[in-house]
C-alpha cells in the first residue's frame, strides 16, 4: 500500500489539474432561459477568409468566378464543435458601406477582416455562431461582374451554402483547399436592401442547408423594383447600379453592362426574360415554391426605394404555401429595424430567438407568438395575428361628378377628363378643389370615425383615350392636420450622438452604435397609397395591347400596400392623373383621358371599429388646404 500511495496521489493531482483545463478548452453551446449564452470569446475568435468556387464565369475570362468569404467563428469551433452560420452577402462592403453609419470592412496585415460591419459578429459569435460577410460576385474582393439580381448574383450566393455543406469547393489565398469542417451546415442569410434581396434569391433556389432568411427592405422582383405595370421608374438602372457597386476598372465589365441595357426592355417597359431571371416569386432561376427556409420579413410601407409591393407580394406567396414566417411592418422609409426608435433591444432579442430556434433547434416558443408587429403611428407598435390585419373589409369608394367620394355609384354617363402630362405629386394634390387639366380629384366629407387601412388598395377605372395609351396614376390622400412619420427627411430617422452596445467588442471592432429617433412632421395632408399603370399593359405585363381610341376599357391594378389610420374628422381623397414625375422619368403621352365615373372606384381594405354604412358628403365642395409642397425625395434616393 505504501508503494501505491505516491502513484495514486500523482494520478489524483493530474486529474485535478487536467479536468478543468480540458473543460475550459472545449466549451459547449450553452442554452439558458431559451437563449444561447455568450460563452465564447469574441477577442479570441478565428478570423479567416476563403474563396468559394461558383458555377459561373460572369466576366468571361475562361475561369469560374470565386466568391470571397470573410469568416469569424469561435476559436473552439472545428470537427469536435460544429456551429451554424449567419451570412450577410453584400455588394456594398467597399463603397456605400453597411448600416446607418456606413461601416466598411477593415483588414489586418494577413488580409483577414479585423472589423466586420454591423453587430452580427459581435453579438452572435460569443453565442456559438459563425458569421460570414460575403462579397457578392463582381464586388469588393470577389471575382466576376455584378449581374444585378441575375444568374451570377444568385448562384454565387448559393455556392457559399453549398460549400458549407460539402457540395462546392473553396480555396485559401495560397490555393490550398478549404473545408468547412467547423459548421453544422445550417445557415441563415440576413441583410437590408441588396443584401436581403440576395437572401430572397438564394432561398428561391431551394438550396439545402439554408434554414432561414431575414430579408430587410428587400427586393422579391426586380421588375417591381424598376417598373409598375409597364411604367418605368428609371431608365437603364441595372447598368448604372452595376457600375456603382463594381470597383474594378470600368472596361472589365462594360460588356455585361451593355448587355443589360440591350436586354432590359426600356423601350417598352414590358416584362421580358431579363426580368423573369430576376424574379424570385416565379422566376427562371427559382421561385417561392422551392423555398425551404423560414422567412422573417422586415419592410416599411413608406419605402419608396424598394417599394413595399416587393414585400407584400412575397409575403402573400409565402403564406399561400404555408412557409413558416414572421413580419415587422414599419412606417419609416428605407430603414433597418436596428434603427427603429425604441425597438433596438427588442430587435436584437427577437432576432436572437429566431436564429436560436431555426439554427440551434432551441424550443423558445417564437413560432407560437403573434406573427406580425405593425407600426401604427410614430414609434407606436402593435402585435397582431398576421398582416394585413385579419378580417379587413373591402370598401368601394366611388367618385362622383360633383367632386365627392362615397359609397354610391355615380349616375350613368357621368365623366371626368384630364390630359396625361408629367406632373409631380405635389402638383397632383395641390388645391384639390380647383380644376386642374392634368388631374381629377374627389374627396369624402369628414369621417365619422377612425378608419385603418391595412393591405393593398385596388384602382378599378373605366376609361377611354384619344391616343393608343396613357400612363395612369392613382393616389389615395389623407386630408387633415396631424403629426405623422416624416419619412421623407433622413429616411424618417435622426441619428443621435448617444450610443448603445449589443455584443462584445475589440479595439478594432466595437459593438456600439448611435441611437436614433423617428422624425415627425405636422402637415395638412399625406399621400397614403400610390399606384401606376401603362394602359396598354392592363391585360399583360409582357404583351402590350393599346386601348382602341375612343373606346372605353377597364383598367384595374393594385396600388402599393399600406398600413395607415385616417383619423375621425379627416377626409379621404382620390386623385387620378397621368404620369407621376416624382417617381417616373417617363414623359406624359399627351393623351386625353376620360373617366367613366359610374364604372370607376377604388377598393380599400379597412379595419373597422364600427360598420361603415355611409361616407358623408359636404354640402359645399371641399377645397382643401392651400398648396402644400411635400419634400421631394432626398439626393441618393435611388441607392439601396
**Do the bridges between strand 493-501 and strand 512-518 make them parallel or antiparallel, or are there none, so unpaired?**
antiparallel
Under 8 Å between Cβ of 107 and 133 = no
Residue closest to 68 by CA, chosen among 204, 187, 183, 178:
178
Q: Give the span between the Cα atoms of 261 and 249, in whole angstroms.
A: 19
Cα(421)–Cα(464) distance, rounded to whole angstroms?
A: 16
Please tell me which residue in 334, 352, 357, 570 is annotated as part of the active site. 334
d(CA 19, CA 21): 5
Of these residues, 70, 303, 373, 596, which one is catalytic?
A: 303
Do the beta carbons of residue 295 and residue 266 sit within 8 Å? no
Distance CA 412, CA 243 (A): 54
DSSP-assigned letters across all residues of 233-284: SSTTHHHHHHHHH--S-GGGGHHHHHHHHHHS-TTT----HHHHTTBSSB-S
Distance CA 332, CA 346 (A): 17
Instruction: Establish whether 270 is a catalytic residue.
Output: no
First-residue to last-residue Cα distance in the chain:
79
Q: Is 193 a residue of the active site?
A: yes
Is the CA virtual torsion 35, 36, 39, 40 positive or negative? negative
CA angle 372, 373, 374 (to 5 degrees): 110
Nearest to 587 by CA among 392, 414, 419, 464: 419
Catalytic residue among 54, 90, 142, 193: 193
Q: Where are the alpha helices (DSSP H) in 372-472?
A: 425-429
Is 334 an annotated catalytic residue?
Answer: yes
Residue 244: C-alpha distances to residues 274, 399, 556, 638 (Å): 20, 45, 36, 12
Q: Could you tell me the CA-to-CA distances from 60 to 65, 143, 247, 272 in Å, in that order?
A: 9, 11, 17, 24
Other Cβ atoms closer than 10 A to 265: 17
Check if the beta carbon of residue 245 is closer than 8 Å to that of residue 91.
Answer: yes
Beta bridge partners of 577: 439, 473
Collapsing DSSP to helix, strand or coil, 357 comes out as: helix
Give the DSSP H or E segment for 606.
strand 601-607
Q: How far apart are CA 527 and CA 255, in angstroms?
A: 41
Query: Which residues carry out catalysis?
Result: 193, 303, 334
Amino acid at each position: 500500500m505504501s508503494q501505491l500511495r505516491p502513484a495514486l496521489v500523482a494520478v489524483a493531482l493530474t486529474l485535478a489539474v487536467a479536468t478543468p483545463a480540458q473543460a475550459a478548452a472545449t466549451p459547449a453551446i450553452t442554452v439558458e432561459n431559451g437563449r444561447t449564452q455568450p460563452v465564447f470569446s469574441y477577442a479570441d475568435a478565428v478570423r479567416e477568409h476563403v474563396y468559394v468556387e461558383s458555377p459561373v464565369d460572369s466576366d468571361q475570362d475562361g475561369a469560374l468566378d470565386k466568391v470571397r468569404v470573410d469568416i469569424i467563428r469561435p476559436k473552439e469551433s472545428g470537427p469536435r464543435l460544429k456551429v451554424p452560420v449567419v451570412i450577410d452577402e453584400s455588394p456594398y462592403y467597399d463603397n456605400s458601406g453597411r448600416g446607418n453609419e456606413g461601416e466598411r470592412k477593415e483588414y489586418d496585415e494577413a488580409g483577414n477582416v479585423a472589423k466586420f460591419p454591423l453587430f452580427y459578429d459581435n453579438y452572435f459569435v460569443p453565442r456559438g455562431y459563425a458569421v460570414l460577410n460575403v462579397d457578392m460576385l463582381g464586388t469588393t474582393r470577389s471575382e466576376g461582374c455584378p449581374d444585378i439580381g441575375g444568374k451570377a448574383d444568385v448562384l454565387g450566393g448559393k455556392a457559399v451554402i453549398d460549400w458549407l455543406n460539402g457540395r462546392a469547393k473553396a480555396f485559401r489565398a495560397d490555393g490550398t483547399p478549404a473545408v468547412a469542417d467547423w459548421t453544422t451546415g445550417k445557415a441563415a442569410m440576413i441583410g437590408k436592401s441588396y443584401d436581403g434581396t440576395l437572401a430572397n434569391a438564394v432561398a428561391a433556389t431551394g438550396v439545402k442547408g439554408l434554414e432561414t432568411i431575414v430579408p430587410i427592405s428587400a427586393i422579391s422582383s426586380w421588375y417591381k423594383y424598376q417598373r409598375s405595370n409597364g411604367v418605368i421608374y428609371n431608365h437603364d438602372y441595372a447598368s448604372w447600379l452595376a457600375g456603382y457597386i463594381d470597383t474594378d476598372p470600368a472596361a472589365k465589365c462594360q460588356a455585361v453592362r451593355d448587355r443589360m441595357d440591350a436586354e432590359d426592355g426600356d423601350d417598352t417597359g414590358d416584362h421580358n426574360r431579363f426580368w423573369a431571371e430576376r424574379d424570385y416569386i416565379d422566376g427562371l432561376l427559382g421561385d417561392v415554391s422551392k423555398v425551404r427556409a423560414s422567412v422573417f420579413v422586415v419592410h416599411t410601407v413608406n419605402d419608396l426605394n424598394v417599394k413595399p409591393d416587393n414585400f407584400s407580394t412575397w409575403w402573400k406567396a409565402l403564406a399561400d404555401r404555408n412557409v413558416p414566417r414572421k413580419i415587422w411592418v414599419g412606417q419609416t422609409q428605407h430603414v433597418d429595424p436596428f434603427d427603429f426608435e425604441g425597438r433596438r433591444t427588442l430587435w436584437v432579442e427577437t432576432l436572437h430567438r429566431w436564429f436560436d430556434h431555426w439554427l440551434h433547434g432551441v424550443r423558445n416558443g417564437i413560432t407560437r407568438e403573434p406573427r406580425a408587429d405593425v407600426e401604427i403611428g410614430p414609434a407606436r407598435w402593435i402585435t397582431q395575428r398576421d398582416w394585413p390585419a385579419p378580417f379587413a373589409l373591402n370598401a368601394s369608394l366611388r367618385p362622383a361628378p360633383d367632386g365627392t367620394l362615397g359609397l354610391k355609384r355615380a349616375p350613368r354617363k357621368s365623366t371626368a377628363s384630364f390630359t396625361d402630362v408629367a406632373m409631380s405629386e405635389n402638383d397632383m394634390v395641390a388645391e384639390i378643389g380647383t380644376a386642374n387639366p392634368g388631374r381629377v380629384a374627389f374627396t369624402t366629407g369628414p369621417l365619422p370615425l377612425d378608419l385603418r387601412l391595412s393591405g393593398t388598395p385596388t384602382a378599378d377605372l373605366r376609361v377611354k383615350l384619344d391616343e393608343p395609351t396613357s400612363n395612369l396614376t392613382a393616389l389615395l390622400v389623407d386630408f387633415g392636420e396631424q403629426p405623422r412619420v416624416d419619412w421623407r427627411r433622413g429616411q424618417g430617422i435622426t441619428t443621435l450622438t448617444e450610443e448603445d452596445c449589443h455584443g462584445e467588442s475589440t479595439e478594432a471592432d466595437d459593438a456600439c452604435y448611435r441611437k436614433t429617433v423617428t422624425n415627425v412632421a405636422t402637415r395638412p395632408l399625406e399621400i397614403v397609397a400610390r399606384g401606376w399603370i401603362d394602359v396598354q399593359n392592363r391585360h399583360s405585363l409582357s404583351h402590350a395591347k393599346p386601348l382602341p381610341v375612343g373606346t372605353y376599357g377597364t383598367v384595374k391594378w393594385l396600388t402599393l400596400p399600406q398600413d395607415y389610420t385616417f383619423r375621425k374628422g379627416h377626409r379621404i381623397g382620390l386623385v387620378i392623373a397621368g404620369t407621376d414625375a416624382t417617381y417616373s422619368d417617363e414623359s406624359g403621352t399627351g393623351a386625353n383621358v376620360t373617366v367613366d365615373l359610374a364604372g370607376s372606384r377604388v377598393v380599400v381594405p379597412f379595419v373597422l371599429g364600427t360598420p361603415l354604412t355611409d361616407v358623408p358628403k359636404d354640402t359645399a365642395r371641399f377645397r382643401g388646404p392651400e398648396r402644400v409642397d411635400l419634400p421631394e425625395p432626398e439626393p441618393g434616393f435611388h441607392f439601396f
